[in-house]
Homo-oligomer: A and B are copies of this chain.
Amino acid sequence: MTEREIPYKIYLEEKDMPKQWYNVRADMENKPAPLLNAETREAMTAKELGVVFCDELVKQELNDTDRYIDIPQEIRDFYKMYRPAPLVRAYCLEEKLQTPAKIYYKFEGNNTSGSHKLNSAIAQAYYAKRQGLKGVTTETGAGQWGTALSMACSYLGLDCKVFMVKCSYEQKPFRREVMRTYGAGVTPSPSMDTEVGKKILAEHPGTKGSLGCAISEAVETALKSEGYRYVLGSVLNQVLLHQSIIGMETKLAMDQYGIKPDMIIGCAGGGSNLGGLISPFMGEKLRGEADYQFVAVEPASCPSLTRGVYAYDFCDTGMVCPMAKMYTLGSGFIPSPNHAGGLRYHGMNPVLSQLYHDGYMEACAVEQTAVFEAAEQFARVEGILPAPESSHAIKVAIDEAMRCKETGEEKTILFGLTGTGYFDMYAYEKFHNGKMEDYIPSDEDLQKGLAGIPKM
């Protein structure tokens, strides 16, 4: 097939949609380290995890041997509402950059939640429903995950309680309204609904909250509410599993056209999108069947891979969740108010951490203003307004394409475009008005967070 026969957008046919998720852990020689009970420091059992999480999701969390896991029909039916997602050949961007590189991106923003988060939200909601639960609790910062979960719960008739970090609740009222459109209960955190919320409000009157506090409130609410469990949109290995649908669709579409990416780029916060996109490609690399260059892009303001350490750490500031071995900046690290709220997490998914540690993946950190410059450049030629998170990957893809322009390399670049920026116009406005600030933590700043990582 000649070059130009590749369309702008490659849509798989509905019948070709993957019927199984791919579990990259099955192909890893060094498995990711198990979650530990924060008190006993023993590996968490299924029974212990089952108090907080749904049973089937616990199984998936612990399963590092089955290469493929069937996607239930009900979830596949829901996926059909917005999947297959398009794989786009960025012809317009290539033309604009005058690069010999071939650029592709997998676009996950064509659903109302506006991001890839929906892929795992429907899976988690489905298993909760099948277990006969009444509802689920969760936290949301930027709001993408809360929106996705609200949509999924609304579809299944499941109650959804979202604790939204208070500053986001106030600054992003429209995100809140989308969740309400889907019938979710949205509570600004910290709240008077939980013990931990009351305690924090007593100690810090007027606080605008934090993700760590919202997690604690969501977990407490799940534990004390009959028929509820807690669900989480990133970091966990089960989430990576669900998100593998992104990479599987991408690989299938590329295979149909005989395209092989040389470099695969994804933004990385908790790691759900990056892990999902690269999973099947990484599988080939782990099995020695093919080679790819993988690049994780993180914000310079929250550089867990590039400046963190690989160690067991708490997953939340309240230390109510199990401990995970991961690249971390310390659970006490307070990320600066970077606009890419979805990348403002102190740690990285355990699977990705292990792969990075073993040299299968690279990482780099980029600054916010440069990210918005790339976002605007992309929006103007590709016609999609990217989320700040996704734009981290765009920035590195453009940089690589410009390098190819110098060297003449016809490299094939693939990146994940995780979502749209419709609810991030406040950040774009700051950028347009020249008021965007870059922030790189000093070594001293980092040291405070790193010092809080427990000695094992």
Q: Which residues of A contact B (CB under 8 A)?
A: 7-9, 11, 13-15, 80-82, 92, 110-112, 114, 151, 154-155, 173-174, 177-178, 180-183, 376, 379-385, 420, 422-423, 425-426, 428-429, 432
Contact = CB atoms under 8 A, between A and B. Distances in A.
8 nearest A-B residue pairs (beta carbon): A174-B425, A7-B14, A422-B422, A8-B80, A177-B425, A112-B385, A81-B383, A154-B380
Nearest to A425: B174
A9 B80 contact: yes
A423 B173 CA distance: 12
Query: How many monomers of this chain does the complex have?
Result: 2
Contact of A173 (B7, B15, B376, B429): B429
A151 B80 contact: no
A155 B381 contact: yes
A180 B425 CA distance: 10
B382 A181 contact: no
B428 A177 contact: yes
A425 B179 CA distance: 11
A112 B11 CA distance: 19
B379 A111 contact: no
Given A8-B14, A9-B80, A155-B383, 20 more contacts: A7-B80, A8-B80, A8-B81, A9-B14, A11-B11, A111-B384, A112-B379, A112-B384, A155-B381, A173-B425, A173-B429, A174-B429, A177-B425, A177-B428, A177-B429, A177-B432, A178-B385, A178-B425, A181-B432, A182-B380
22 contacts: A7-B80, A8-B80, A81-B92, A110-B110, A111-B384, A112-B379, A112-B383, A151-B380, A173-B429, A174-B425, A174-B426, A177-B425, A177-B428, A177-B432, A178-B428, A180-B428, A181-B379, A181-B380, A181-B432, A182-B379, A182-B380, A422-B423
A154 B173 CA distance: 30
A380 B173 contact: no
A182 B425 CA distance: 13
Nearest to A96: B155
Contacts of A181: 376, 379-380, 385, 428, 432
A148 B8 CA distance: 20
Nearest to A381: B155
A380 B183 contact: yes
A115 to B, nearest CB: 13
A8 B81 CA distance: 7
Contacts of A423: 422
A382 B432 contact: no
A420 B379 CA distance: 18
Nearest to A90: B81
A183 B428 CA distance: 12
Contacts of A173: 425, 429
